[in-house]
Structure 1
Amino acid sequence: MVKIKVRFYTKGSFVKDPTLRYEGGDLFAVQGIDSDKWFYFEATDHLEEKVRNFDLASINLWWMHDDGTLAEDIKPFKDDRDARKMSKFAIDNKVFVFVFEIYAEPKASSLDLQSLIGKGKNVVGADKGQSSKALVVDDAPEESSEESDYETDDSDEDSTDESVKDVHFYDSEEERALDNDCPYEAESESDGGGRRNTLKFNHEETMTENFSFVKGMEFSSLQQFKEAVHKHNVLLMRDVKIVKNDAYRCRVVCKKKEECNYLLLCSRVRTTTTFRVKTSKEKHDCGKRFNSKSAKAAWVATVIVDKLKNNPKMKLNEIVAEVRTRFSIDIPTGRAFKARQIARRIVEGDASKQYSLLWSYSAELRRVSPGNTCKLEIDRPDPMLQHRFGRDPNDQYLPLAFVVVETESKDSWSWFMTLLLEDIGERRWCFISDQQKGLINVFEEMLPGTEHRFCVRHLYANFKKKFGGGTLLRDLMMGAAKATYYEAWEDKMEQIKQEKKAAYDWLIAIPTKQWCKHAFPFYSRCDVIMNNLSESFNATILLQRDKPIITMIEWIRKYLMERFATLREKG
């Protein structure tokens, strides 16, 4: 990379007396420019800043190295390909660049540049023989050269040449910026001896078909410019493509550029983070496309995101119909599927990103609620939800804790019970659960003297799988479980034995203290044999269990807070 110094000569004239030379005008210099960041519009930015009433559409740029002569070595400077030639030459040589601007001046009105600079040279504006302004670029290498990271798109060379001479701008375009219906706003900037109106894109306004990318409109980033162009062309039902895209500039053309002259060019304003529209030919000459490929999944997602909030189960054909009705654009179901996934991430959050935020989330929970326990142990895929409930003297059931684990295994239950007992203490608690083997083993190892009951509904579900159930067996089993004294239980069990011996043997193998009221210890003063609230809670959170982890936990946390408040008022 080479640091170059640039001298600009303006408002002078080309004369031949007897040789071709440039005389008169003003001079200003710019130095410290990186050779790999020297672009065509870098030069025009300097001119716009220093030269009053500068009009790019009415000038031509020229350049020449200092070892040559105007008549033989002057070259046109009309696009970034010429800028790269200059940058390459600037590594080892001094460079002169002349700006040729057409304006009325009798003294030079008969000047024929083509004949003066030599036959056969392809010089832009040579047949427009009028007086001129000039720009001189001087080069001073300071570092070893490096190859530029930016490559050109040679497939669009012809359109670039045409854009220089065919695009015209009118004051009425800037006046349109004052229209309240357009999503951009006009501002005034001081520029040396005068003031210049600038048009700043307003991303908060809704994009419409009548929007205009006015020359001089400013964007905060190239990404903002590209998104605006994309949205606008979707509304116009046209397909466009980016043929020049790097950190400093972006050029957009119509995909049917052979028959359409649509062209937008936006580049960075030097030494700033602002990007300005430099070329604007935004009227399409091609026809509309009802299956526009510009309507990509990301854009469709922004269209359906509000409806997806109210209808989480929105079907693909509904998405296709929504886009067709509102914008007259047909999209395939595959694109609708991708759009729905993107919209869900917008509404519910991104699952992978939320896992990366778990540490911050848990720290915030501990900060705002120091009395609660919140602990992370990551590396647990395919999460399952476990929970514990308590029953108060008002016969109200209150969720005490919940946890997200990889599966209902002995390890996960042991981890959960350890944290739970740290909070509630190792008193003579009474636990009711299903017949989950991992949990049974945990109680036997961690709480050997604790009362542990089985939910009779879960017990009957397992009983039904083995013996077929039926009204008679169900009533007999429930009667045995609810019997409050031994003789009543014995009578029900004898009836089960007569009905189906295998069912009797299966039930008698289960300790009565785990499922029969008559065998419950008296100290708990609780004869509950079902944990219906657990199933009710599971049904309530069912729609949230497929959400990203923080979204799910936040919903459950808020739901529990509301439930506690409601039960407190009732109590």
Structure 2
Amino acid sequence: MEAEDILNSDVEGEQYEESNEATGMKNHVLSVGLKFSTPQLFKKAMVRWNVLIGHAITYIKNENKKITAKCKQDCGWRIHASPIGNTSTFQIKSFISEHKCGRVHENGHVNSKFLADEYLDDLRDNHEIKVKSMKRKVRKDLNVDISRWQVCRAKHNVKKLVEGDIEKQYALVRDYCATVLDHNTRSCFKIQNAKANNRGTQPRFLRLYARDGNDNLFPLAIAVVESECKQTWSRFLLQLLNDMGSVQERGWVFISDRQKGLVETINELMPGVEHIYCIRHMYANFKLKYKGKELKDLFWKVASTASKNEWQYYINEIKKADPSTVAENGDEGPCAFKWLMNANPQNWAMSHFSPRAKCDILVNNMNESWSNYIIDASDIHIISMLEWIRKALMIRFQVKKKWYAKASGKAWS
């Protein structure tokens, strides 16, 4: 059938190929008679076909019932498509497929939306790809120059597509919490909203607390907060204590990196509880003022010895290694000994740990491991982030369970 016959015909014709959006959108060879389920898919295929061969097009007609396009350089290339009968199926009715003009290196069709569609898999799998790298890839693949802003917008569009719109995700937080509780009734969720600035406006999400209901040797609770400060630590710990019960009775031991506001909060909410400071973080602050290998070695010895007699010996050695200076008014100046003693030895010296505490951990490597474990979830939207962490933990627990099942030997009583 000639092009002119198809142009004036509403007969679909079984002999003509149908495009497959799922498998064929990136492999189309445009031809007379090719059918598309919607006009949008036809335009998408037509634009991509021209971008790949290095040409720009413009529309003569761009309507729901008729789409006609020609080469922007008016070299004779032309295509026309319209519906088959009263259906939404579009069919190419006439097509002059040869461009007689030269390749262009600036193509308005290669915008952020086109880049997001074309490089969806690349940007989804490597959302940290550098702008320069992405520009080089597009130049190599399409022989087209693009701007850094087009790359940034394309990455943003892919992120929204993959993770969902950020505002929509916040709107689903309560439904997400309800779903978790429906499947794990012993879990606990608490959501706090910020007060609306104006009457009639929607409240703004502020914080989220989520406690695992299994009470196993797993991460017990997760909190999403606006910042790390005394107020957020206080709210988190109050809810955690409400779920866990009396920490003094159970002999809980807390270990921390002395985050901002945390030490004061623990002292206020849990007076007398065993709270150990991470010695590695403590030394990182110590060495800023007191340098040298001698003080470094003495610091680790005074922190790690289990003997109070040895602790006293090493603390005296620190006094000798960094003697305090005396000002004219008789006050002693700062020194390594005074710096250490400003922190209660019960919080950092193993020799001073309470005998009822069944823990002698000195470094908080668990916290570092956890932070590294969830780092990929730190820059995605809230529902996607919570789901990423939940799935990652499920996989981790299953792997550990299988590993423990293979272990042999006498069990601890």
Residue number in structure 2 paired with 1:463: 286
For residue 533 of structure 1, report the CA deviation from its aligned partner.
Answer: 0.8
Distance 2:210 2:179 in 1: 22
- The alignment status of 1:202 with 2:25, answered yes or no, reads no
Q: CA deviation at 1:255?
A: 5.3
Distance 1:171 1:281, change over 3 A: closer
Q: Which amino acid in 2 is paired with 1:451?
A: E
CA–CA distance in 1 between the matches of 2:215 and 2:189? 22
Partner of 2:4: 169
* Correspondence 1:227 to 2:44: yes
Q: How does 1:243-392 map to 2 (within 5 A)?
A: 244-245=61-62, 248-249=64-65, 251-254=67-70, 256=72, 258-260=74-76, 262-266=78-82, 274=88, 276-277=90-91, 280-283=94-97, 285-291=99-105, 292-379=107-194
Q: Matched residue pairs, number?
A: 377
Answer yes or no: is the 8 Å Cα contact 2:305–2:311 preserved in 1.
Answer: yes
Deviation digits for residues 265-305 of structure 1 (CA, Å, limit 9, x no counterpart): 546965x6x25458644535542434233222322233333
Which residue matches 1:61? none
Letter in 2 for 1:254: K
Query: Corresponding residue for 1:405?
Result: 225
CA contact (8 A) 1:297 1:339 kept: yes
Q: Which has the larger radius of gyration?
A: 1
Per the alignment, residue 420 of structure 1 pairs with 240
Q: Secondary structure at the match of 1:488?
A: helix
Alpha-carbon deviations, 1:193-249, whole Å to 9, x = none?
xxxx8875432232445222538x4533x4333323322322342212345556x44
Q: Distance in 2 between matches of 1:369 and 1:310?
A: 32
Unaligned runs of 5+ in 2: 195-203, 325-334, 408-413
Q: 1:451 to 1:400 in 2, by over 3 A?
A: same
In 2: Cα distance, 1:254 partner to 1:546 partner: 43
State the shift of 1:457 in Å.
Answer: 1.5
Q: Is the 8 A contact 2:56 2:104 kept in 1?
A: no
Superposed CA offset, 1:414-438 (max 9, x none): 2221232233222322111122242
Could you say what the CA RMSD is over the residues aligned between the two structures, in angstroms?
3.9
2:44 matched to 1:241?
no
CA shift for structure 1 position 550: 2.8
1:479 CA displacement:
1.5
Deviation at 1:546, TM superposition (A): 1.9
CA distance 1:470–1:348, change in 2 (3 Å): farther
> In the alignment, is the contact (CA less than 8 A) between 1:219 and 1:276 conserved in 2?
yes
Aligned-pair distance for 1:442? 2.0
Partner Cα distance (2:205, 2:96) in 1: 51
Structure with a larger share of its residues in strand: 1
What is the rounded CA distance, in whole Å, between the counterparts of 2:305 and 2:341 in structure 1? 15
Deviation, 1:357, is 3.1
How many angstroms does 1:382 deviate by? 10
| TM-fit CA distance, 1:329 | 3.9
Alpha-carbon separation, structure 1, partners of 2:171 and 2:103? 42
Cα–Cα, structure 1 residues 409 and 381, in superposed 2: closer, same or farther, change >3 Å?
farther
CA contact (8 A) 2:192 2:207 kept: no
Distance in 1, matches of 2:50 and 2:120, equals 20
- 2:311 equivalent to 1:489: yes
So what's the TM-score if we normalise by structure 2? 0.76
Unaligned runs of 5+ in 1: 1-166, 178-185, 189-196
Mapped partners of 1:404, 1:213: distance in 2: 56
2:397 is the alignment partner of 1:564: yes
Within 5 A, what are the aligned runs for 1:525-540? 525-540=358-373
Write out per-residue CA displacement over residues 37-81 of structure 1, whole angstroms, 9 at most, x where no aligned residue: xxxxxxxxxxxxxxxxxxxxxxxxxxxxxxxxxxxxxxxxxxxxx
The change in CA–CA distance for 1:506 and 1:385 in structure 2 (over 3 A counts) is farther
Change (3 A) 1:226 1:461: same
Structure 2 residue aligned with 1:499: 321
Change (3 A) 1:445 1:499: same
Distance 1:337 1:363 in 2: 35
Could you tell me how far 1:514 is from its partner in structure 2? 1.3
DSSP-derived class of the 1:204 partner = helix
